[in-house]
Amino acid sequence: MKITALTTYLVAPRWCFLRIDTDEGITGWGEPVIEGRAHTVAAAVGELADYLIGKDPMSIEAHWQVLTKGGFYRGGPILSSAVAGIDQALWDITGKALGVPVWQLLGGAVRDRIRVYSWIGGDRPDDVAQAALERKQQGFTAIKMNGSAELELIDTPRATTAIVDRVAAVREATGDDFDIAVDFHGRLSVAMARRVLPLLEPYLPFFVEEPLVPEVSDRIGEITRATSIPIATGERLFSRWDFHAVIDQGIAVVQPDLSHAGGISEVRRIAALAESRDVAIAPHCPLGPIALAACLQVGFATPNLLIQEQSLGIHYNTGSDLLDYLVDPTVFAYRDGYVDLLNAPGLGIEIDEKAVARAAELGHRWRNPIWYRKDGSFAEW
């Protein structure tokens, strides 16, 4: 079997899908994207295609090594995301060719279902208590919310208490049998993190995500030592080498993104690295159905999986949502906050190619917001 073509599709709301065709008629799908840089990642896939055309798609590891190391200039989010989508599609082809789901190729399932969480509140969180209660009534047992909008490097007591009051309101609305993850998107400085996180401790967050920007990952240990709250990070780290900088600093959860961090192959290795240091994995995935399917395939075969992010109803999915590009959306039917084992070959989903083609005719140019502080200086989004 040989690879004959790689085709990318930019589809709403902000995704990039990849189809890899073979001369035996087996097709694989991947999701190579950086949110806000989808066109750039698609261009990188096009450049990598020069190497892949005519190759055996089942030589996954050999291709991963060449695609990540064969160029003199290596690494970074664009290349890692392009490789991630290709890697997903190659695993999809291999599973379909052998008639088994990817989790079987990774050593078999270690669980029958995976716990998932839902998003509430948006970028500038509002009405979070009612939204969290609605998610609980829908059967979810955990949510994630942004902790704040933009912040000053050291913000006011009012801004600090607003964060705490928001989390407190969710805890009061949902009770103690419900988990609350709080995402800061790197909006906290080290000083603000040390101020805010101890005040959140009485509400027992499930974890606090990305309190610091990745550029200061070497200081994350100061944060883990300042609070009893489990700290999660890693959506903007792209390889096992990147995770070496944080994994021994007391973090509780790594969050590699299977559409950013080298795909199934590399995230599987990151998970093993984390397991060796008693750290859980909760893959980042506010993306589309292919990325989620890839996450679940890894999760079913990974002992230290904590929970899986999924994007159904997330505030970014305006106009198109997680299930819109699937022939059978029931594969992601959540029951009691869990998704069942995916048993179909490959990634376990069937992409609606006509829906993808229609969406790609319109495409998208999604860009993340640019935020500013009160004095006009740049603020983290």
What tens-digit pLDDT sequence spans the chain (381 residues)? 999 999 999 999 999 999 999 999 999 999 999 999 999 999 999 999 999 999 999 999 999 999 999 999 999 999 999 999 999 999 999 999 999 999 999 999 999 999 999 999 988 888 899 999 999 999 999 999 999 999 999 999 999 999 999 999 999 999 999 999 999 999 999 999 999 999 999 999 999 999 999 999 999 999 999 999 999 999 999 999 999 989 999 999 999 999 999 999 999 999 999 999 999 999 999 999 999 999 999 999 999 999 999 999 899 998 889 999 999 999 999 999 999 999 999 999 999 999 999 999 999 999 999 999 999 999 999
Query: Which residues, in sequence order, are bridge partners of residue 280?
Result: 253
Of the candidates 188, 264, 197, 199, the one whose C-alpha atom is nearest the C-alpha of residue 225 is 197
Count of domains for the chain: 2
Together in a domain, 13 and 143: no
Q: Do 72 and 153 have their domain in common? A: no
Record the pTM: 0.96
Are 31 and 122 contained in the same domain?
no
Indicate the residue type of 215.
E
- 335 found inside a domain: yes
Residues 94, 144: one domain? no
Asked whether residue 374 is assigned to any structural domain, the reply reads no
Catalytic residue among 185, 244, 260, 364: 185
Q: Dump pLDDT digits (tens) for 267-284.
A: 999 999 999 999 999 999
Assess whether 232 and 248 both reside in one domain.
Answer: yes
* Residue 217 sits in the same domain as residue 316: yes
Q: Are residues 173 and 264 in the same domain?
A: yes
- The Cα 318–Cα 314 span in angstroms is 8
What's the domain range around 194?
104-346
Does any domain span residue 371? no
Q: Is residue 242 part of a domain?
A: yes
Strands in 48-206 per DSSP E: 113-120, 142-146, 179-183
How far is 205 from 202, CA to CA, in rounded Å? 8
- 135 and 171 fall within a common domain: yes
Whether 290 maps to a domain, the answer reads yes
Q: Are 229 and 205 in contact (CB under 8 A)?
A: yes
Is residue 114 in a domain? yes
Q: For 351-371, b where at least 16 C-beta lie within 10 A, e where not — what string? A: bbeeebeebbeeebebeeeee
At which of 81, 100, 119 does a domain end? 100
Q: Is 179 found in the same domain as 306?
A: yes
What does the pLDDT look like over 128-178, one tens digit per residue? 999 999 999 999 999 999 999 999 999 999 999 999 999 999 999 999 999
In a domain, 40, yes or no: yes
CATH of the domain at 66: 3.30.390.10
User: Does 220 share its domain with 256?
Assistant: yes
Contact 68, 87 (CB under 8 A): no
Last residue of a domain, one of 100, 130, 162: 100
Give one DSSP letter per residue of 119-135, joined into a string: EESTTTT-SHHHHHHHH
Catalytic residue from among 39, 63, 244, 284:
284
Residues 172 and 158 in one domain: yes
Tallying the residues shown for the chain, one arrives at 381
255 domain-assigned: yes
DSSP state of 257: B
| DSSP-H helix ranges across 157-189 | 157-174
Q: Is 284 a catalytic site residue?
A: yes
Residues 194 and 303 in one domain: yes
CATH code of 165's domain: 3.20.20.120
Q: Is the peptide bond before 13 cis (omega within 30 degrees of 0)?
A: yes
Angle between helix 77-98 and 263-275 (nearest 10): 100
Residue type, 3: I
Q: Is residue 364 flagged as an active site residue?
A: no
